[in-house]
Each structure stands twice: as C-alpha cells, then as structure tokens.
C-alpha cells in the first residue's frame, strides 16, 4: 500500500469519534493491507514502530522537528516557529508547507516504516544533527497528509482515539462479522501483546492462525489484576470456598523472564559492569505492567535469579520492593521507584537493596502454566527456586473463615503494608483479566476515603497568583472506562504538590501536549484544560470523598484531591475503573 493512501485512512480516523465508524474504517484498512505490510500499518496507526515490549523511541523534541521542517522546505526556523505558534500543531504546519512545496515522491508503507525505524535507531555522538537531516529529507518528498502524520508519529501526537482493543474488535468483524470472536483474539493478545503480529496471523489464517500465538520467554504477558471488595464474608463467597490470602506490598509489579537456551536479545547484560559474570548467552529480562523492559533497574534481582532459579526457562510474576538493610523493613513505593533511573543504578542498588517477592509462575521449561490451578503452579514454583537470595516466594494463609481473613488483614495493617490479596487457589492465571479470582482488600477501603485512586492526567491549567511563575496552577485528571473505551474526567487538582512537583508535572505534560483533546477523551467544554495532553501520565491521588457529579463525564467527582505520587509503573488504561469508583462511593455512604 502507498503510504499516501495509508495516511488517507488516518485522516478519516481522525475525523470521527464514533467507535463503530472507527472499527469499520480499521476493518477496511486491515483488509487492504497485504500480509507483509499489515504489522507495520497497525503499529504506525497506533503511533509507534514496534510492539510496546520492544519499543523504539524517536527522541526528537519539537525544536528538532522545527529544524527538520525548515531544512525540508528551505525556510528559516523562525518562520516555522511562528507557524507553529499560530497552529499549535507541527503536523498541521508540515501539511501546509508540503501543500505549498508541491513535491511528492511515492513511497510504500513498508519503506516509510523502515525509514522511521532507521531514524529512531540513530543514537550517539552527532545523532541529533543526523536525525534532523534524515527527517528533513523524508518530509521534503511527502504529500501534505503524509507529512502531517509523519510529524505526528515522530512526536507521538497522533491522537486518533483508538487502542489495541479497537483493532481486536476490527479483527473479530473480519473473521466473524461481529464482535463475537473478540474475546478469543483478546486472550491471545493478552499472552503475546503484539497487535501487529496478531493481526498478521488472523489475516493469514483466520482464527486458526492464532494457534501459532503462544507464551514465550522475552515477550511479557499482560498481568492479571484484582477486583476490589471490602467485606470478608462477601470475599469468601466470591472465591467459593477456601481462599489464599497474601500480603499486598507497596512495591512495583515485575515480570521476570529467564531462558538459558535463548541468547539475550540485546547487549545490555553482557556489557553492564553491574553484572559480575558473562550472561550474554542467557536471556534475562524484566518487564513492567506497561510491557516496557526495565532490566536495567534490577541488576541485583537478575543476579540472584540466575543463581536461585533451577529451571532452563521460566516466567515469574511478582512484586519488587525495596527494603532497609539495617531493619529489614520494606520501604515506600516512592523510594523503591528511584530504581527507575537509568543512571547511577549501581549506587541506588547499594542504598536501596531489593527483594523480588514472587507470587506466581506462568511458564516453566518450555510449557505454559496459565491454565493450571494456582495450587499446582505454586508447587512448581517452589520446586524451581533455591532459597537464600533476593528472590522469595510470597507467603499465604489458606482459610474459608471471614474472621481469620480479617485478622490477617489487620496484621498487614500493623506491618504498615497496603492490605491483602485474596486468591482462588483452584483458578488458572487469567492474563490481562480483572476478575474475582483475585480480590484486593486495602487498608484504606475501611477508612472512608483513605483509599487512593489511580488517575491519568489529561492536561493542565495555567498558573495564577503565586503559581504564575510555574506556568501551571492545576491539572485535570480522568480514569479509563473499559466499557466506553474512553477516558472520562473525575477531578481537577490544584493543591497538595510541592514546588518541584509542579515544575516536574509541567515539564512532563509539555512533552506530550496536544492541540485539542484526543477523540477517546470525554470532557465537558467548561473543563477543557489550557494545555491538553496525551493520556499518559498516571498519578495516585488521595481525597476526602467521592460525590455524584453532573460536570465530570465519569458521573463522579473526587473532592479535595491531592497528589500522592506519580505512578510510572502503571499504564493509563489501568487506572481505577468507574465501577471501582462506584464501589468506593457506596462504601463511603455506608461508612457515614
């Protein structure tokens, strides 16, 4: 397919916010793309180059793209900057400049994908100049629409209002004529989250083509999630008998992959001085719940894993949490997350040693275990791990007695832990699902709205008064509604941040600002922020209570919200759900 035709589809997608219309357009696009190019087409329409676990980043700021546009069309930087200041969207600027230049060189979608991969991979000394030159050469030969969307892809501002789930629904329409096959396709995506590959397999062999999609080391599985309840008797009833009760730790979710028969896919481990022996023949990786590789954060856990794990290949699910080496007590998430830094990790590893508390095993010696009951998985986990290191198996009690469950919960509170997770020991591991086989009971559930809420920042309001120097005085937060496949608003936050946090938030927002709200964001006109952002920054908020709201599109409002912390370990589609907000609202009313 010509890249120009592909961009025509992107323009059509941008022109509608109706889910059925978007799905219909995606069905047409997938049908017209051939098998060799369909994965590239899927990735580019979502605004990236590779699946999330193997993502390439362009690392090109607005100023670099301004320089590229100036070079591409023989203009001064000041002229392009002025045009940008007027329109607020460099993609639109690129379109206007290409219309005036009237130079077009046909290019296929695979050729463009290859060119953009080359652009993203250019790193090191002098790479900024080379990137600007390469992008300029590309843009100078594109038609107006192609120039517009190429710039937006590079800057990460495509804002077309759909997700991988929309592609899953489109694929179901292709093979079944409706959404009846979506669940089967989604289950495969959840264990192998590469929507480009999934689309290629369905295009090649229909639903039968999905048989080749399996769990494999080096590719993260979407994490199973817990529902929220507050009454021990109700929890025991949901589990349906004996329940396993584990402590809920305030760490960061980590999925660990080890494969002694598969070479490492990059040179990080082999070259990193934090590892004291050669591991270049071993795949050893960790992933976040957002599917990003974060192996660099946990050299001590990788080191320990290669000593403690007896298996040839394994995938583990657990929580990484820092601890005080003097007292042995766990430390708060805000301190643990310091390991996110890519520099000085060795120093932080000494200051903040980590434990990896494993609560599940998904894959062992070439075999997927997700269909097995938890009891059998746990037995295999115990057989696969040697004691004595940074990796420990999560402890649990087994009970069907609500009183004992509550006592264990109170013990978690006494230890200053988040609460407990209650699991059905007879259930399999449901990748990506949020079901009652896992239930969380957090200490804050019991104390009105001591509970925190995970939200995504949708934009900010300009500073006034004492905050005028910051350029930010408040921000709008929303939550992801999985039923609507939309972000809906919940609260405006204007207090609770230190000066440095206001500055950090503005800097982060400015990197992902949009010209207008994306089509998958529902926001009342009166609440539209001065600066709209891509839904990407997840924050944990506290508040006094949840009330019914006619203004916020979630139908609820969080009163007196305050920032607890940034949650970079969570994807924006894993915020607190509207159903959970309703539960918290009912709990507060019941408590009062």
Phi first, then psi: give them for residue 471, nearest 5 degrees. Answer: 75, 10
> Is the distance from CB of 581 to CB of 490 less than 8 angstroms?
yes
What would the two tokens of residue 291 be? 């599917």
Phi first, then psi: give them for residue 437, nearest 5 degrees. Answer: -70, -25
Question: In sequence order, what are the residues at sequence separation of 6 or more whose Cβ sits closer than 8 angstroms to the Cβ of residue 314?
Answer: 217, 256, 257, 258, 259, 361, 363, 364, 365, 384
What would the two tokens of residue 334 be? 């805000």
SS3 at position 461:
strand
Q: For residue 241, which of 434, 473, 399 has the smallest C-alpha distance?
A: 399
Q: For residue 10, which of 116, 145, 171 has the smallest C-alpha distance?
A: 145
Q: For residue 254, which of 322, 320, 337 has the smallest C-alpha distance?
A: 320
Active-site pick, 95, 131, 203, 248: 248
- Tell me how far apart the alpha carbons of residues 79 and 62 are, in angstroms, rounded to a whole number: 14
Which 3-state string (H, E, C) describes 387-451?
Answer: CCCCEEECCEEEECCHHHHHHHHHHHHHCCCCEEEEECCCCCCCCCCEEEEEEEEEHHHHCCCCC
Alpha helix ranges (H) inside 102-247? 109-121, 127-139, 144-155, 164-176, 182-191, 195-205, 232-239
What would the two tokens of residue 5 be? 């035709």
SS3 at position 507:
helix
> Is the distance from CB of 458 to CB of 508 less than 8 angstroms?
no
Q: Which residues sit opposite 398 in a β-bridge?
A: 244
Per 3-state DSSP, what percentage of the chain is helix, strand, and coil (rounded to 5)? 45, 20, 35
First to last CA, the chain: 61
What would the two tokens of residue 516 be? 């207008």
> Is the distance from CB of 275 to CB of 298 less than 8 angstroms?
no
> Is the distance from CB of 358 to CB of 393 less than 8 angstroms?
yes
Evaluate the CA torsion angle 17, 18, 19, 22 in order and state its sign.
Answer: negative
Number of helices (H), then strands (E), in the chain: 21, 21
Query: How do 434-442 and 225-228 pair as beta strands?
Result: parallel
248 given a catalytic annotation: yes
Residues marked active site are found at 248
């Amino acid at each position: 397919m010509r890249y120009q035709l592909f961009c025509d589809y992107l323009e059509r997608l941008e022109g509608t916010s109706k889910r059925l219309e978007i799905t219909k357009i995606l069905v047409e696009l997938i049908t017209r793309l051939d098998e060799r190019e369909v994965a590239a087409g899927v990735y580019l329409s979502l605004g990236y180059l590779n699946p999330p676990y193997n993502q390439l980043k362009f690392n090109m700021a607005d100023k670099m793209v301004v320089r590229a546009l100036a070079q591409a069309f023989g203009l001064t930087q000041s002229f392009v900057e002025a045009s940008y200041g007027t329109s607020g969207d460099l993609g639109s600027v690129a379109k206007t400049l290409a219309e005036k230049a009237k130079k077009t060189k046909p290019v296929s979608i695979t050729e463009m994908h290859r060119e953009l991969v080359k652009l993203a991979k250019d790193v090191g000394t002098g790479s900024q100049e080379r990137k600007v030159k390469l992008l300029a050469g590309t843009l100078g030969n594109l038609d107006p629409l192609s120039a517009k969307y190429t710039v937006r892809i590079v800057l990460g501002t495509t804002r077309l209002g759909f997700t991988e789930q929309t592609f899953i629904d489109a694929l179901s329409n292709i093979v079944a004529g409706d959404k009846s096959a979506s669940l089967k396709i989604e289950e495969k995506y959840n264990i192998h989250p590469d929507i480009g590959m999934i689309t290629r397999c369905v295009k090649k062999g229909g639903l039968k083509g999905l048989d080749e999609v399996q769990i494999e080391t080096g590719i993260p599985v979407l994490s199973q999630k817990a529902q929220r309840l507050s009454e021990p008797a109700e929890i025991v009833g949901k589990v349906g008998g004996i329940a396993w009760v584990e402590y809920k730790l305030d760490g960061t979710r980590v999925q660990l992959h080890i494969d002694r028969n598969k070479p490492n896919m990059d040179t990080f481990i082999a070259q990193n001085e934090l590892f004291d022996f050669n591991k270049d023949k071993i795949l050893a990786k960790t992933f976040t719940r957002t599917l990003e590789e974060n192996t660099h954060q946990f050299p001590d856990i990788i080191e320990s894993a290669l000593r403690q794990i007896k298996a040839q290949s394994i995938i583990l699910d657990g929580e990484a949490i820092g601890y005080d080496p003097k007292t042995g007590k766990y430390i708060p998430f805000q301190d643990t997350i310091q390991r996110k830094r890519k520099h000085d990790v060795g120093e932080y590893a000494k200051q903040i040693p980590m434990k990896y508390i494993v609560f599940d095993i998904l894959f062992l010696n070439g075999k997927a275990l997700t269909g097995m009951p938890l009891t059998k998985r746990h037995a295999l986990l115990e057989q696969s791990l040697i004691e004595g290191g940074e990796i420990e198996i999560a402890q649990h009690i087994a009970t069907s007695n609500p009183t004992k469950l509550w006592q264990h919960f109170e013990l978690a509170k006494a230890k200053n832990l988040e609460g407990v997770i209650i699991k059905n020991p007879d259930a399999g591991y449901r990748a990506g699902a949020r079901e009652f086989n896992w239930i969380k009971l957090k200490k804050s559930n019991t104390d009105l709205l001591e509970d925190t809420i995970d939200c995504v920042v949708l934009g900010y309001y300009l500073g006034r008064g004492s905050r005028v120097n910051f350029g930010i005085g408040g921000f709008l937060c929303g939550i992801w509604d999985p039923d609507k496949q939309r972000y809906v608003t919940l609260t405006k936050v204007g207090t609770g941040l230190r000066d440095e946090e206001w500055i950090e938030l503005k800097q982060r927002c400015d990197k992902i600002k949009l010209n207008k709200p994306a089509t998958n964001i529902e926001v009342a006109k009166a609440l539209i922020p001065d600066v709209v952002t891509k839904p990407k920054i997840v924050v944990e908020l506290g508040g006094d209570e949840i009330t019914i709201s006619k203004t916020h599109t979630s139908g609820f409002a969080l009163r007196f919200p305050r920032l607890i912390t940034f949650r970079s370990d969570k994807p924006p589609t894993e915020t607190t759900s509207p159903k959970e907000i309703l539960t918290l609202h009912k709990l507060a009313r019941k408590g009062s």
